[in-house]
């Protein structure tokens, strides 16, 4: 379980995560949604100990992240940040092998190598294994980073906008991998997504953040409601049901281009 209790975080004097409390149960997929600047990435960084909160407590599997050694936390929690830089000239396989570092301390065994190959195969990047990260496409690089995170083989995963840059097929593949990890391995996954319809279809729980606060949360059928979405995103929205799943169609394009006829 991930527990966030009264977490407040600011940059300088600006509070961007404002007294947030939430719990994320084991073995499910939670989608964190909300407008740009809502504080989603900041909250994820605090949970992953990449950023220190001003106040509050975060626990992951009963470990207080602020008091847990990074190498201990890294065996329980993996994170894909939104602003990951490619540090040096690395191949895809090198990067994915880094995912094993918390377990291997730089001495990967045959089993580690097998996990690396498996993660690359899952993300459909085996053919790219020997290519350099700065010589592949944005979506391919995104998949390499996701493979690294999966290779870390933790029971908690935080993914900040993992669908970024992915085409429809690879987006669908990623959602399948995420669902499988949750359903078959009991991994707890929190991901930030802007595609609310993806969240509706494959998440168990949706948490909406706005101005640093949790404004609504619940199963998709409770969050995928017109006035709820309109209040979170400040755009007019229609919700339609397709094959039993709720989809939101936002009408902001229509606002930009009112019908003339
Ligand atoms: N390093 C930083 N220094 C100062 N302010 C920051 C920094 N990072 C983020 N912010 C500000 O904090 C607020 C929350 O940012 P955050 O990145 O958490 O938003 P987000 O919900 O992830 O948005 P997006 O959907 O655009 O990724 C924003 O107003 C942003 O400008
Ligand atoms: Mg963000």
Q: What CATH number is attached to the domain comprising 54?
A: 3.40.50.300
Same domain as 119, residue 23? no
Same domain as 90, residue 148? yes
Half-sphere exposure (Cβ direction) of 137: Cα atoms closer than 13 Å: 7
The reply to whether ligand 1 has any atom less than 6 angstroms from the CB of 45 is no
Q: Residue 61 pLDDT more than 70?
A: yes
Work out the average pLDDT over 151-168.
94
Q: Residue 252 pLDDT more than 90?
A: no
Question: Which of the ligands is closest to the CA of residue 207?
Answer: 1
Does residue 261 fall inside a structural domain?
no
Which residues place a Cβ less than 5 A from the ion ligand 2? 40-41, 82
Same domain as 167, residue 123? no
Work out the average pLDDT over 189-198.
96
Residue nearest to atom 26 of ligand 1 (CA): 36
Same domain as 169, residue 143? no
**Three-state secondary-structure class, residue 38:** coil
Q: What's the pLDDT score for residue 82?
A: 84
Does residue 227 fall inside a structural domain?
no
Nearest atom (ligand 1) to Cα of 194:
25
Nearest atom (ligand 1) to Cα of 38:
21
Does residue 244 fall inside a structural domain?
no
Evaluate whether 246 touches 224 at the Cβ level (below 8 Å).
yes
The count of structural domains within the chain is 2
Q: Residue 257 pLDDT more than 90?
A: no
Work out the average pLDDT over 198-206.
96
Same domain as 164, residue 60? yes
Same domain as 2, residue 70? yes
Same domain as 18, residue 133? no
User: Which of 35 and 256 is assigned the larger pLDDT?
Assistant: 35
Same domain as 144, residue 161? no
Q: Residue 261 pLDDT more than 70?
A: no
Does residue 94 fall inside a structural domain?
yes
Same domain as 93, residue 138? yes
Q: What's the pLDDT score for residue 83?
A: 80
Q: How far is the CA of 157 from the centre of ligand 1 (A)?
A: 21
**Three-state secondary-structure class, residue 45:** helix
Does residue 12 fall inside a structural domain?
yes
The reply to whether ligand 1 has any atom less than 6 angstroms from the CB of 42 is yes
The reply to whether ligand 1 has any atom less than 6 angstroms from the CB of 212 is no
Does residue 228 fall inside a structural domain?
no
Evaluate whether 210 touches 38 at the Cβ level (below 8 Å).
yes
Distances (CA, A) of 173 to 121, 145, 178, 221: 12, 15, 9, 23
Work out the average pLDDT over 194-223.
96
The strand pair at 205-210 and 213-218 is best described as: antiparallel
pLDDT band at 87 (very low <50, low <70, confident <90, very high): low
Domain end among 102, 137, 153: 153
Domain holding 165, by residue range, is 1-76+154-221
Kindly report the length of the chain. 261
Does residue 233 fall inside a structural domain?
no
Work out the average pLDDT over 42-54.
96
Same domain as 161, residue 195? yes
Percentage of the chain surpassing pLDDT 90? 84
pLDDT band at 253 (very low <50, low <70, confident <90, very high): confident
Task: Output the pTM of the full model.
Answer: 0.93
The reply to whether ligand 1 has any atom less than 6 angstroms from the CB of 39 is yes
pLDDT band at 85 (very low <50, low <70, confident <90, very high): confident
Same domain as 3, residue 123? no
Q: How far is the CA of 256 from the centre of ligand 2 (A)?
A: 25
């Amino acid at each position: 379980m991930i527990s966030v209790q009264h977490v407040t975080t600011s940059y300088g004097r600006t509070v961007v995560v404002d007294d947030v409390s939430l719990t994320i149960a084991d073995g499910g997929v939670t989608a964190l949604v909300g407008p740009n600047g809502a504080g989603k990435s900041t909250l994820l960084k605090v949970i992953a100990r990449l950023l220190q909160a001003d106040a509050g407590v975060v626990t992951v599997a009963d470990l207080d992240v602020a008091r847990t050694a990074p190498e201990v936390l890294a065996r329980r929690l993996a994170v894909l940040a939104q602003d990951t830089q490619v540090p040096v000239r690395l191949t895809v396989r090198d990067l994915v092998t880094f995912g094993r570092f918390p377990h291997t301390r730089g001495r990967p065994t045959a089993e580690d190598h097998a996990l690396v190959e498996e993660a690359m195969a899952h993300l459909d990047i085996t053919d790219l294994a020997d290519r350099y990260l700065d010589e592949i496409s944005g979506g391919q690089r995104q998949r390499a980073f996701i493979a690294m995170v999966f290779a870390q083989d933790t029971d908690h995963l935080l993914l900040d906008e993992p669908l970024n840059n992915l085409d429809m097929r690879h987006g669908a593949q990623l959602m399948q991998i995420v669902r499988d990890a949750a359903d078959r391995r009991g991994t707890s996954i929190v991901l930030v997504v802007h595609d609310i319809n993806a969240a509706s279809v494959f998440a168990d729980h949706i948490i909406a953040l706005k101005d640093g606060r949790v404004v609504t949360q619940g199963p998709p059928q409770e969050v995928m409601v017109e006035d709820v979405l309109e209040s979170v995103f400040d755009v007019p929205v229609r919700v339609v049901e397709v094959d039993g799943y709720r989809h939101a169609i936002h009408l902001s394009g229509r606002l930009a281009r009112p019908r003339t006829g």
